Structure formats: structure tokens, C-alpha cells
Chain A
């Protein structure tokens, strides 16, 4: 029966080899932990306290999902497999070493078939590791994607971990070559390499000496890697699981936290490191510089100064130099970087280690707003919102002007009970180019016999993007006004036209009697399913559908709009960036109110080109009023008027009724 030989071929000249191994490893681990503690203590020494200790089982589950299985990382095939190959191999090596320790000191079990499985598994993962490392080398030195950081620290790490695995393999194969054991084929990589050593004709003694050399290098490289881990790019092996463990569970992704306050209830407007929480600093330290956020970022791809990755690195750079570089807004992080964000959520969605970029961006924007550092267009929009409750600067009495002449007159939900309270939103109400679509929405509701009403001048801008601009006080004021108006209405559910209103009403407004909030696409989807909405015409357009950020990524409504489009008879051809990978139109987070600044290609233009490249798609379907505005402009600026038409989903429904 095969037996495991501990410390095979290691001389006992200076005593038990395991004594040395344990001393070296304990010292290395202690140094590593001490250095890590020094680094990590910056988080809570500089950052504000924030409670993230609740829901431990849920947090541990997140660690399993994102840090161990690495589902986020695996969303992208090549880098996902590459990273999993390397990380999982090390998990297995770590486990293997731990089991060997258990076997040595506590419970002997590594013999016979168990030993064979043990050896085979470790050996297979050696091969898997080498494939992963090969992929990493190809990617970093041959393919060289722009999103990566090309810093020698990454090379050093790659060299270290490869040396660890190769010296481990050498140790094993040299032992196999010397032993000529019968089970050596169960360690296929070691076995193959052993044949090479055997073919050199080296004596057993020579092989045993080489084995000792490889073993010592292996041991020392592991020790060195551990000692340097907290100052190397491997730091993420500690910070990433921590960041995942402490990720936000207290609110849905669509809800921002209100402005934090001090113990004396004074609001904290974050402009420097110490205004951020320790978790926000941990975010920066957990960043692995993989660049997926940057790749997905509409602002970065448009050529604005914002890269979510660079934002995190600037934050990290700043707190590593705390004391000398504590000011963030305007210094470590320029204002135009903060203003470029559309809050589309793509960075947060892509981050393998659950960094929360947008929360920090909004916190820093809150400071800029309180200091009045906003551009002229944004200022006008905010002043209009404060004074008239809409960004258009029109009288609230004009809010429902689009409905003038409609028969029957749309009910005033503040005066009579309705089943559905329709929250129309600013763009759908005021934008002259959208009133036709809004009317069609109302007509569709009327035709399906929906009992609905609107709040007329009682409705205010819902405040989703006001909040994301960083104007928390104005958001609160708008929300209070809307809540007051809604509290006077008698309704069973809210429907919205605008995904932005939808998001804030659903996720950020205090639950008002618990009535559900539905986007109109969710409602229509329900009506189709129940048979209340039937189409008389079958459209045969070949269309593509653009997922609005605040409907898709923020609220997971992907299928309802697609089912409606299919029910109208249209064929959907998906764009490469669809569903949670959809590209933002560029209007969110208050960008629609701001000066555009220097830009290479608008996200909306990139999106229209993407749709045109599908070939044969005639209609670009959206489910957000701002999208209609953004994409109709983009179709003109890219000169695609002949190729594609932008339509709101309701226009298809209206046509097919």
C-alpha cells in the first residue's frame, strides 16, 4: 500500500526538517500579518466608522460565491479562466499542505487510494496552474489589453507564484525520479518530468541533492512571497475577500445612502480621506486593477477623464500618502472626473471584488454641490428643480399640458381614487419631442381599460438623478413633495414611464403603504400574460432593444420588455452589449443636465453604431424617455437616419393594438 513519506530526502543534519519549516513559515506568516495589519489599520485610522458586521452568514456566502468560486471574475471567459486556474490551484495547494499537516500531526489518512487521489489532484492542479500562468503571460506580454496596469509588481508576482509551483513540481519529480515508485504515474506532471531527470542518467544521490536544492528554493520562495504579500499585488488575496465580506447588504443597489452625519448630527460632505468610511478605503485597497470597470465605463470610453479603476487607484495612492495628500476633491480626484460619471452601474456590476465606485463618487459630488462647484447648466437645472419641481424651468401648471384635449380626460389621482397612479416624470411630461409618445402611453392605458390617474401639478421630479448629482437636500425636498402628494391619492400601485423615477420611487422613497411600483413595461407584460392586453396587428420589424440602466442593471427588469416586443410580433436581434452589459446612453446621474465637456465619441453614438452594425435592424427600441431624446440625437449625429429609427416600446404597442 502506498505510504506518504514526510520530508523525503531532506537530511536531518541540523535536526528535524519540520522544525525549520514550521519556524520559517510561522515567522513569515507573522511578518505578513503584521505588515498587513499595518496597512489595514489605515482603513479605520483614517476612515470613518461604518457598521458592516451584520448578516454574517449572508456575508460568508458572498465570500464563497465571489472570492472562492469567483463568479464575477468568470463573467469574462479568458481572464476568468486564467484567474480561476491560478487561484483555484493555490486554494488546492494550500488545502493539500494543510491536509499533509493534519496527516503528520493529528490524523494519519494519506495512504492507499486516498493518497493516490490526493497526489493526483495536486498534480492536476499543477498543470491547471501552469495553463493559467501561461494564459497570464500571453495576456500580459503579448495581448496587452489597455485596461491592465503594466507595473513591474504584477510581473514580480507572476514570477514568484510560478517559481513556487515549478520548484514544487521539480521537488516532486526529482523525488519520483529517485524513488522510481510504482504509483508515480498518478502524478502525471511529476511523472513526465521525472522521465527527463532519469534520462540525464543522474545517480540517485545526485537526484536527491537536486531535490534538496529545489525543496529549499521552494520553501524560501513561499516564505518570501508571504512576507512581501502585503506590499505586493497579491495583497488583493486578502483585501478582496474582506471587501466582498463587507459589501453593502443594507440596501438594494438602486438605493444610495443619505449624506452621513457626525455624532452631533452635522452632515459630512466628503472632500478628504477622513470623510470617507473605512469600507470606502478598503474598496480602494481591494481593487485588483483588472480594468473591467474601465472597459465597461461609458464615460471612459467616451474619452472623458473618468476611469473607475483610476479613481480607486487615486484613492489608494492618496491614503497610502495620507497626511501629505489627504484632499480628494479637486486634488487627488479632479472635479471633472467626478462629474463625468453617468451612475450607470456598469463598473459596480463588473467588479469581481464588489468595489462600490458610485457611492464614493456621489459622496464626493455632494461636497462639490454644497460648495456650489457645479457647472452653469447643472446649476440652472438644479435651480429649476428647486423652484418649479422640474428641470425644464416651466411652471408646474404646465406639467400635464401634454394631456390637453385627450378624451376622456385623465383622472386627477389627487382628487379621485384610481387603481394605478401614473408617475409620468419630467421628460415625458415636458419635453416637446416626447409628448406624442406620452399621449400614446395614455391611449394604450385607456384602450386596455386601465383605471389610472396622474397627479397633474402635484407631481414633482422624482429626484433620482438629483440625488446622484449629489444634491441630497434637493432630493429630500422633492421626495417630500411627492410623498405628500401621493399620500393624498388613493391608489393600489404606481406605474412610471421613466426608469429613473422607477428606481428612486421603488428603492429610495420610504415605503408608502407598501404599494408596488411598476415600470410600464412590467405592467404591460402582466396585462399580456393575463390576456387583458391583446394585439390586433402583428408587426414584423426586426428590432433591437436597449436596456435602460435603471431598469436593467439597477432593477433586473430584462425580460418584461422583451416579452412585450415579441408579443407585438417583432423579432429581437440582441446587440453584443445587452442586458446587464448594456451600454449607458450617457444621460444618467444628472449628465443630461451638465455641460458635455470634451468628449471623443458620445456613448449614445457608440450605441447606435453598435445597433447599425447588427445589419438589417430597422428599429432601435427603448423604454426610457431620456433614451428617446439621447438616441434620436445620436442617430442624427452619426448620420444613420436612413438605417435605423429610435422608438419607445410603447410606440410598438400602440401600433400593434
Chain B
């Protein structure tokens, strides 16, 4: 029965307007509202689907963030067996993916996982390095853009998405790290009363991360909102006027 670890993080919730911090190198975290990374949510769902099908245990590990307990209790209500919160003073301010991946790897290996699932990317790092980095630190193979996982004879049979609507089936020996693009089923709904029940009965293991080592990560020089290019011109008037104006413009730029 597979031992599954899901690595989850909270990312900026886009219902709120994002603001850049004073130094202009990142988001202003004071006003930031965070939500579970959508891809990680799919990873949790996939982990629970595997558990329901093949048995095993699911451990969810997440770094400290506002609302992370609620998120973890939600995963427990869905069927996760163990919830681990990584704590360190720097998590709330945001850490780079190398530091995060090291922290994840250090904790995940304690559970001797057969399978580590995490979101293939997150809205605050679209290059998706957490999965590969964890695999690297633990010396496991990594496959990304996964949309389905089956465990067979100590191996994982996975579906991997390719551009253009292609899907490949691959086999990977365990233990392995998988970057989940989408679970076999969309994340399930979990009733509030179940989550509240978990809040009363389940416990979150809190693990103090000793050191956050950001080595190897990138440094952001400047973060900014897209600037108005001011190139668009709205043509107003009735159909004839617009058509006449268009012809004029086409002639001007030499298209006619």
C-alpha cells in the first residue's frame, strides 16, 4: 500500500487586487490573501483517489501561511490521514522555491514515501520548480504535467499531458515525485460540517523547519504591473464612418 505525500502551498488569491511592495521586488504581503494553489489541490485529490483505490496513507505537508490550518483540515475532511505544517519565521514573507523544496524534502523523507505529489506549478511561480527540486534533493525521478496515476506492481502508471491535446502513458518506478496538472477527478466538494468536525478531532503536526536555504534560487530585480502601452485607438461613429476611417488608416499605413 503506497505511502503518499502531497506537498501543498498557499498562493495569492486573485480575487483581491495585488499590490507591489515598497521595494518593488515582490507582492505586498501585508494585504495579501492566500488560497491553496489550484494545482496542489489537484495533487491532494489525486493522492486521495489513489488511497481510495489502492489503500495507503496520505500525508499533506504545507508551509505556514494564513489560513493554512483550515486548508489542512479540509484535506483531512477529504480523506488525508496526516497533516503537517512547516513553520519558520520567514515562510509568511515568502521564500524562494529552492528553500521551500529543501524544507519539503527534509520533512517528506521522514515518511518514506512511495509517491510524492505536488502541483506542477503555482500562480506565483509559473516555471514549476518545486517538484523537480524535491526530486533532486531526494534522488527520485520526476514527471510533470501528470493527469492520472495508477499504482501497479511497485510502479506508477501515469498519464502525462502534452501540448495539442496529446496524452502519453508512462511508467515510473517508485519512489517518485509527480507534478500534477490535474487529478483524475476535479477536487471534490467537502461539506463545511465535515471540515468543522475535523477541526474538533484531527490534529496538525507542527514541524519547525530549522533552516531555510535559498541557495540556487533567483533574485527578482523588479516586479511591476503591466504598463499601459497607450497604442490602442478607439474608432467611434456609425458603421459608415468607422469603415471610412478604417480605409483611411489602411491607406496611411500602406496596407491599401
| B-binding residues in A (CB < 8 A) | 259, 267, 369-370, 372, 374, 376, 378-379, 382-383, 386-388, 393-395, 397, 471-474, 476-477
Contact = CB atoms under 8 A, between A and B. Distances in A.
A266 to B, nearest CB: 10
Interface in B167-191: 186, 188-191
Contacts of A386: 192
A387 B35 contact: yes
Given A473-B194, A473-B196, A383 B189 contact: yes
Contacts of B190: 372
Contacts of B35: 387
A256 B247 CA distance: 66
A387 B192 CA distance: 11
B16 A382 contact: no
B232 interface: no
Nearest to B17: A395
Contacts of B196: 473, 477
B16 A395 contact: yes
Q: Is the interface of B mostly helix, strand, loop or mixed?
A: loop
A476 B191 CA distance: 12
Given A388-B15, A395-B15, A397-B16, A370 B193 contact: yes
The 10 closest A-B pairs by CB, nearest first: A473-B193, A473-B192, A372-B188, A474-B192, A379-B189, A372-B189, A395-B15, A370-B191, A374-B189, A369-B191
A477 B16 contact: no
A369 B16 contact: no
Contacts of B194: 370, 473
A394 B14 CA distance: 9
Nearest to B196: A473
A379 B185 CA distance: 13
A471 B192 contact: yes
Nearest to A395: B15
Contacts of A388: 15
A267 B193 contact: yes
A64 to B, nearest CB: 41
Nearest to B195: A473
Contacts of B33: 395
Contacts of A393: 15
Contacts of B15: 388, 393-395
A259 B197 CA distance: 14
Q: Is the interface of A mostly helix, strand, loop or mixed?
A: helix
Contacts of A379: 189
Max count, chain A CB within 10 A of own CB: residue among B15, B188, B189, B193: B189
B211 to A, nearest CB: 33
A374 B193 CA distance: 15
A270 to B, nearest CB: 14
Nearest to A472: B193
B192 A477 contact: yes
Given A369-B191, A376-B186, A395-B15, 12 more contacts: A372-B189, A374-B189, A379-B189, A387-B35, A395-B33, A397-B16, A473-B194, A473-B195, A474-B191, A474-B192, A476-B192, A477-B192
A161 to B, nearest CB: 50
Interface string B29-40: 000010100000
A396 to B, nearest CB: 9
B96 to A, nearest CB: 27
B193 A382 contact: no
B38 to A, nearest CB: 12
Contacts of B186: 376
A387 B195 CA distance: 13
Given A376-B186, A387-B35, A473 B191 contact: yes
A388 B16 CA distance: 11
Interface in B26-84: 33, 35
A428 B23 CA distance: 40
B16 A372 contact: no
A418 B184 CA distance: 52
18 contacts: A259-B193, A370-B191, A370-B193, A372-B191, A374-B189, A378-B189, A382-B189, A383-B189, A387-B35, A394-B15, A395-B33, A397-B16, A471-B191, A473-B192, A473-B193, A473-B195, A476-B193, A477-B196
Nearest to B190: A372
A370 B186 CA distance: 17
Contacts of B192: 386, 471, 473-474, 476-477
A376 B193 CA distance: 19
A477 B191 CA distance: 11
Contacts of A471: 191-192
A370 B188 CA distance: 11
A473 B188 CA distance: 16
Nearest to B15: A395
Interface in B186-217: 186, 188-196
A477 B194 CA distance: 12
A382 to B, nearest CB: 6
Contacts of A387: 35
A397 B17 CA distance: 11
Nearest to A397: B16
B196 to A, nearest CB: 6
A414 B218 CA distance: 46
Nearest to A474: B192
B184 to A, nearest CB: 15
Contacts of A383: 189
A387 B188 CA distance: 15
Interface string B1-19: 0000000000000011000
Nearest to A267: B193
